[in-house]
Amino acid sequence: MKIAILNYHRMGGSGIVAYEIGRAMAEEMGHTVHFVGLEPPFRMGEQYSSRIHFHKVWLKDYPVFNYPPYTLALASQLSELIVRCDIDVIHSHYALPHAVAALLARDISGRNVKCITTLHGTDITVVGAHPTMKNITCHALMKCDAVTAVSNYLKKETERIFELPKGRIRTIYNFLNPEFFNPGLEEKQRLNPENDFICLHTSNLRRVKLPLDVIRIFHGLVVKSAKPMQLWILGEGPMQSEMAALAAGLGIGDRVRFMGIQTNIGPVIASADLLIMPSREESFGLSALEAMACGLPVLAAQAGGLPEVVRDGETGFLFPIGEVETAVGKGLQIVEDPDLHKSMGKKAAEHAVNTFNMKTIVRRYNQLYLDAVSGNGKGAVPSGT
């Protein structure tokens, strides 16, 4: 098959998942994959091959436009690609604007290309559900040949918000590439020669991640435990200064290390001891899965799809959103009990590999493509209806 993949090529979880699906479709399933967007997927690096291509979307600026119309440029250039490269399937990550652009490109091309969309969360819960975007999102959800969501939570939320018929959306969990995330990548000696207990937070430091609660929870652990501890923050975002100011105000500024955006985060994660993830909203929580795969227990809020990823009491602990004291109490059990820490880390790594297995999940996407192309898609809506 010839597959076009649309996604945001930046360091978000959806970009990583989209790239790994494309890479596996090319390298393991033998398909030809065309990534289409403003930039190549960051993991693609220089690894261009005869089966993996990148097509840059060119924007036409014009003084009358307030913003260059990306969706229109994408649809127009994609319609040309559909014909030139004889595309069979377009896999859009994010309903907006990608699923809409894919449907428009199909119409323009006049070809029977199949449109498949994977929902990642805020494309539905924040943007798609908003009155200014609700109709076009609903249109895309109904017109695509198949729609998947990365968790049962997101599937149910989407069905509820858009009053969709049951079975319109199916869940296919996220996964990760075990080559990049496994306990064997640990580099404690180099990254943590002091052998402190390392708490970790990895995100884009936006308000929805409740990053100030990360600092408050870490502070609670420092106050209640005699163990030397550090907090490592991987990622960058708008709340970084507030986090630094809060840490300084609480007298723990010297224990908090902002590590910024890094391309190879596996060794850093594997060298830490506990992931703190207090997010207010999280359709899946790929960072939790990455940490578990590296053998870390996860201390996470009971938000969205996180309870489907983290097994409470087994691979970490869950706490009610915003309840810092509860989180500290649960985190302390892990910090103070090395046996519990070890057994939870081991179960976390097993759970990550078994339940979110890359090969199994890539096969499910492959079957979805095959069903769509052969017209067998369960719950699929025929093109153009």
Task: For residue 241, count other CB atoms closer than 10 A to its CB.
Answer: 9
Residue 38 vs 373, nearer CB to ligand GMT: 38
Residue 35 vs 197, nearer CB to ligand GMT: 35
CA distances from 14 to 21, 112, 177, 284, 308 (A): 11, 26, 14, 10, 17
Distance in Å, CB of 14 to ligand GMT, minimum: 3
Pairing mode of beta strands 169-171, 298-301: unpaired
Residue 1 vs 147, nearer CB to ligand GMT: 147
Residue 57 vs 113, nearer CB to ligand GMT: 57
Distance in Å, CB of 322 to ligand GMT, minimum: 16
Contacts of 128 by beta carbon, 8 Å cutoff, 6+ apart:
95, 96, 134, 137, 161, 162
Residue 305 vs 331, nearer CB to ligand GMT: 305
Distance in Å, CB of 168 to ligand GMT, minimum: 19
Distance in Å, CB of 374 to ligand GMT, minimum: 27
Distance in Å, CB of 284 to ligand GMT, minimum: 4
Interface residues with ligand GMT (CB under 6 A) are 12-14, 17, 120-122, 150, 174, 208, 281-286
Distance in Å, CB of 127 to ligand GMT, minimum: 9
Strand partners, 178: none
Residue 76 vs 92, nearer CB to ligand GMT: 92
